[in-house]
Amino acid sequence: MGQTVFIPRELDTNEPRVAASPDTVKRLAGLGFDVIVESGAGTASRIPDEEFAKAGAVIGKAGDVAKADVVLKVRRPDEMELKAYRPGTAVIAIIDPYGNDAAVDALARAGVTAFSMEFMPRITRAQSMDVLSSQANLAGYQAVIDAAAEYDRALPMMMTAAGTVPAAKAFIMGVGVAGLQAIATARRLGAVVTATDVRPAAKEQVASLGAKFLAVEDEEFKAAETAGGYAKEMSKEYQAKQAALTAEHIAKQDIVITTALIPGRPAPKLVSAAMVASMKPGSVIVDVAVERGGNVEGAVPGQVVTTANGVKIVGHLNVPGRVAASASLLYARNLFAFLETLVDKTTKMLAINRDDELVKATMLTDGGQVVHPAFVGKPAVMIASNEPAKPAAAEKPAAPKKAAASRKLAAPKSPASKPKGIA
């Protein structure tokens, strides 16, 4: 009998995605795994239990996680869920560790080997495992769809016998993966698109999609990108200059979409209340970064707010989850591609190589400790389990480290450590 992979139903009511698809279930079976999918896990992603069963999975219940050697999830398990996990279980998910020390400590105390998929390095080998890119791509698309749904006019220019309908003006703030897809989608729908970002490389990318780039292009701008391709936090002086440049521009826009995130930090404020007040009635702002504090003053997580001057500020949570059927298929492939690297092809058993660059980049907890280099490791008391500790095959628990007096967040030291966010 092979080792077991368990795919649970996500307990968060705001999370409709699932960590497997019929395709990846077949692939997991091909690697030698027995696959158990909790009943109803894929319902919100339009994958009924029958489809998983046809692919070779056993449809089970939540308690079957106690049998698992590997658990594939969308969001990290909470402390109550972890009580059913066996120590040594490999947990692969979007862990979201920054600012969530208690949750990270709970993973360590449970004795699981947790991998944070957001930390996957952006290297050629790991492109198929990049959950930030796969999910951000859909978030950028959905942000434009949400904006169009709230905007009560047509987006493209239409020339008719009765007159001309002008094209909507859309401004994209933050040109990572999400921003680029937002530009492309808004252009397809016929809007006139402008975009801004602090990274110099974004200028050429924006132009390649047929949009106009807007930024203060001084010396600080020229050095505003990390080795991993992420935006650096800009100085207060630069932020002031950029705000002055964009303030006048925003006043003329019909749609503004913000996607700016900084690794390990709250989302930067890009749109002030004064800027919102300058916009025309009926204008729409979509804040994709609202879960990280938001880019827009006045944005409320999970709500669509209408300001006194008639501007709608959209703050939907879990934007990729709004297209769960598509997002789950991509996310499942990301997880499978990573798990495949952890399996010995000869024995068809889990064999985690802790010297592998992908493992080093993503492993958050192991052997009862927090081990990721962006965090200070410390021993943890195991959460009570219904079975004794049973590390996965071909693995040895990491040697205990000296307890630290306190654990503080540290800035990522390499592109290998990247937090959750819109890429």
Q: Which of 130, 146, 254, 366 is catalytic?
A: 130
Residue 242 is among the residues annotated as catalytic for this protein:
no
**Annotated catalytic, 45?**
no
Active-site residue identified among 122, 239, 265, 272: 122
Which listed residue (3, 21, 45, 133) is catalytic?
133
Mark whether 133 is an active-site residue.
yes
Which of 12, 23, 125, 127 is catalytic? The answer is 127
Catalytic residue among 151, 230, 238, 331: 230
Which of 185, 195, 228, 161 is CA-nearest to residue 423?
Answer: 228
Alpha carbons 138 and 288: distance in angstroms, whole number: 11
Catalytic site includes residue 130: yes
Instruction: Reply yes or no on whether 122 is catalytic.
Output: yes
The catalytic residues are 122, 127, 130, 133, 230
